[in-house]
Structure 1
Amino acid sequence: MKMHFPPALILGFASLVASVPLAAQAAPRGLRVVGASVLGSGCPYGTADVHAVDSNTAFEIRLSDYVVKTGPGTMASDWRKNCKLTLNLEYDSGFQFSTINADMRGYAFLPAGAEGQCLNTFSFTGAQGEVNYGINFRGAREGAFSLSANSDVVSWSPCGGSTAILNMNTQCSISPTKDRALIAVDRISSKLTVRVALQWRQC
């Protein structure tokens, strides 16, 4: 499995609240990826390419073997797939990171009467809660699909530290399983942004 990461990430700032002067905020020196792993039935070893894009503020997984299928000759392991990306991050203390603009693209073929679902989950280890969003497919349908999180969907890293583990998991399934149907995921991406912990925000 190929992984391409720069030694440091160059980050842009999100907009600050107008009442907090920019000069009062210190800038982080950088965000560094110290480890990454991809695991799951939808991304077996050698089938996922993880790399940084968009000036190193976003991550993308390109998948060559994430195929959910049903019908004659298939098994239970074909009816549901998942892929989990774990990123270990280091950064200056006093800042938080969030996920935004998460996106998944693929292709779906479902006959009449078949249903499919893809669900994405984002969370930071040690932080409370997680973000979930998904898409439901109903047959008959055939064609490309895109699943994107809206701008209100964010997951924040914990306060008070200088490391974070970002977990990104996607799972897709089809039912019933007697007819031929298919969901193929070819790309999962998520943008990271750094935001200054504002003075009024309690951590």
Structure 2
Amino acid sequence: MAGGLFMGGAIAALFATALPLSSPNGGIEDPPPDKIVISVATVNGSGCPQGTAAVAVSPDNTAFTVTYSDYLAQVGGNADPIAFRKNCQLNLNVHVPQGFTYAIASADYRGFASLQRGASSTEKASYYFQGSPNTASITHSFRGPYGDDWQATDTTDWAQLVWAPCGV
């Protein structure tokens, strides 16, 4: 990376969807009366030290927002040599009704970036289910000069969704 780089103040929102494992008529059934419920078990990493991430779950428990007050990646100038890369891992507990499974359908990321001419930055998200060998990653790149808020949205086509294992 050339020049200076600053990315921080990220907000992430995740939306999950529940679908039936199978339907007798081959179509998609109506959602069950019991709702999918998401709770955030842990938030940790170099980009979200303890006490710097606030989690808000939507009233219907189907989505949540995490606001990071100290998520800051920097390079150049007086930046700490290891400040160029930050991460934060969210571990979720998800309850889905009997006979249904779930997948991550979309996630939004927002923040602020200040990139000098010639500098570049990358936001990368990886999605996986505990115990599964499959990990999906999506990368968004930004190039300087840039000095503004940014937003990145990860979405997955329904046919490409990776579902949680049954009974987990």
Q: Which residue of the partner structure matches residue 119 of structure 1?
A: 124
Query: Deviation of residue 28 (structure 1)?
Result: 6.7
Structure 1 residues 35 and 70: CA distance shift in structure 2, 3 A: closer
Query: Deviation of residue 22 (structure 1)?
Result: 6.1
Once the two structures are superposed, the pairs formed by residues 139-158 of structure 1 within 5 Å of their partners are 139-152=144-157, 154-158=161-165
Structure 1 residues 61 and 112: CA distance shift in structure 2, 3 A: same
RMSD, matched Cα: 3.0
Q: Which amino acid aligns with 1:157?
A: A
2-structure distance, mates of 1:77, 1:34? 31
Is the Cα–Cα contact under 8 Å of residues 112 and 147 in structure 2 kept in the other structure?
yes
TM-score, normalized by length of structure 1?
Answer: 0.63
Aligned residues: 150
Q: Which residue of the partner structure matches residue 26 of structure 2?
A: 20
Q: Which residue of the partner structure matches residue 106 of structure 2?
A: 101
Name stretches of at least 5 consecutive residues in structure 1 with no aligned partner: 1-10, 164-203
Query: Deviation of residue 63 (structure 1)?
Result: 0.6
Identity, in percent, stands at: 32
Q: Which amino acid aligns with 1:80?
A: R
Deviations 1:33-71 (A, max 9, x none): 576100001100110011212622101101100011112
Query: Deviation of residue 105 (structure 1)?
Result: 0.3
2-structure distance, mates of 1:34, 1:110? 35
Deviations 1:110-145 (A, max 9, x none): 111111101011111123412211211111111111
Structure 1 residues 28 and 79: CA distance shift in structure 2, 3 A: same
TM-score, normalized by length of structure 2?
Answer: 0.75
1-structure distance, mates of 2:107, 2:39? 22
Name stretches of at least 5 consecutive residues in structure 2 with no aligned partner: 1-15
